[in-house]
């Protein structure tokens, strides 16, 4: 996101506590190391710099962990977001873009999922994000704070120029895990469930390229500037899903060109995993003018594979 903003002519300040991020990856914009729990630091940052808008990506985001440690998720994802919003209001910063999630919907009642779908989260992570969405509605009414909540489905891919990509520890996303097997960093990938009511028995998810996600954030800022204050929400996805098996098949074809292969084992379903999660993103396309550039699954995987090869190269140096 910082790269896109800088390339688009904006000045960027990155606030990160580096709990899951990496200092060396802040290649664009100025890094301030700090935590949203530190209100004094936030006040100092907002006094030092003059901001037009804030994009809020910082959150804990592991579903399983949220069930075991809900306090951590409500403290960081909700309470710390309130800290940020309050300091923004104190300094008259009126535009806010929030990273929300498809997890706010819970088990889907229908698919694809549009913005009118009921929101009934089934874990503290999803609940924490929904809480913030609701807080933003109240802040819009009370404090004239304009916001857009962008509900991601499955973010994936990497910088097409190979400069940036996923570096989670531990990694939990399907595509990078599959490619770590191909590169030799992992022995095998486990597919959880092969008897879903889908064509090939594996569950279906909506994969959206990270660059297309970033583009939606840029359009969201432009939308807020042009429209009356309010709290708006948009689902971000490709509008069509791919099964786990389709991801495996596409990945195998790509890594085969590099004489690599992917070892797969099949396990039981995980509790609470829906068979299908696909976004209806018509509203974002219509209202924001969003046009995803990288909807092809093979292109997404190709970009992620280049990044994986770059990570392997770095580890050898």
pLDDT digits (tens, 9 = 90+) for 98-129: 999 999 999 999 999 999 999 999 999 999 99
For residue 274, the model assigns a pLDDT of: 84
What is the Cα–Cα distance from 22 to 11, expressed in whole angstroms?
Answer: 20
Check whether 251 has a pLDDT greater than 80.
yes
Percent of the chain predicted with pLDDT > 70: 100
Check: CB of residue 254 under 8 Å from CB of residue 183.
Answer: no
pLDDT band at 270 (very low <50, low <70, confident <90, very high): confident
Q: What is the mean pLDDT of the chain?
A: 95
| Tokens found for residue 122 | 């089934």
Could you list the active site residues? 125
Check: CB of residue 158 under 8 Å from CB of residue 305.
Answer: no
**Which three-class secondary structure state does DSSP give residue 95?**
strand
Nearest CA to 121 out of 174, 67, 81 is that of 67
Cβ neighbour number for residue 83 with a 10 Å cutoff? 17
Cβ neighbour number for residue 43 with a 10 Å cutoff? 15
Q: Tell me the average pLDDT across 274-294.
A: 95
Check whether 314 has a pLDDT greater than 90.
no
For residue 99, the model assigns a pLDDT of: 98
Check: CB of residue 294 under 8 Å from CB of residue 169.
Answer: no
Under 8 Å CB-to-CB from 261, ≥6 apart: which residues? 182, 252, 255
Distances (CA, A) of 95 to 58, 141, 207, 212, 231: 17, 14, 27, 21, 10
Q: Tell me the average pLDDT across 142-167.
A: 96
Q: Tell me the average pLDDT across 259-272.
A: 91
Q: Tell me the average pLDDT across 74-91.
A: 98
For residue 295, the model assigns a pLDDT of: 93
For residue 273, the model assigns a pLDDT of: 81
Check whether 271 has a pLDDT greater than 80.
no
Nearest CA to 144 out of 226, 88, 190 is that of 88
H/E element, 159: none
């Amino acid at each position: 996101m910082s790269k896109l903003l800088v390339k688009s002519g904006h000045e960027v300040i990155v606030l990160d506590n580096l709990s899951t991020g990496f200092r060396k990856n802040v290649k664009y914009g100025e890094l301030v190391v700090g935590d949203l729990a530190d209100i004094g630091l936030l006040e100092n940052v907002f006094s030092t710099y003059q901001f037009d808008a804030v994009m809020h990506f910082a959150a804990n985001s592991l579903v399983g962990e949220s069930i075991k440690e809900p306090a951590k998720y409500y403290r960081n994802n909700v309470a710390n977001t309130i800290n940020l919003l309050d300091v923004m209001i104190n300094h008259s910063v009126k535009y806010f873009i929030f990273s929300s999630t498809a997890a706010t919907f819970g088990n889907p009642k229908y698919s694809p999922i549009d913005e009118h779908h009921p929101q009934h989260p089934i874990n503290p992570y999803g609940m924490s994000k929904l809480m913030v969405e609701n807080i933003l509605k109240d802040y819009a009414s009370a404090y004239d704070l304009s916001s857009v909540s962008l509900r991601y489905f499955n973010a994936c891919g990497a910088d097409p120029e190979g400069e940036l990509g996923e570096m989670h520890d531990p990694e939990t996303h399907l595509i990078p895990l599959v490619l770590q097997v191909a590169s030799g960093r992992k022995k095998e990938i486990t597919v959880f469930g092969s008897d879903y009511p889908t064509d090939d028995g594996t569950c279906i998810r909506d994969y959206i390229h990270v660059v297309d996600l970033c583009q939606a954030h840029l359009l969201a800022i432009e939308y807020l500037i042009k429209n009356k204050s309010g709290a708006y929400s948009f689902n971000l996805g490709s509008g069509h899903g791919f099964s786990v098996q389709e991801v495996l098949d596409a990945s195998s074809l790509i890594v085969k060109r590099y004489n690599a292969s992917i070892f797969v084992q099949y396990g039981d379903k995980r509790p609470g995993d829906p068979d299908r999660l696909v976004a209806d993103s018509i509203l974002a396309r219509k209202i924001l003018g969003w046009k995803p550039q990288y909807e092809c699954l093979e292109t997404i995987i190709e970009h992620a594979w280049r990044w994986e090869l770059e990570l392997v190269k770095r580890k050898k140096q």
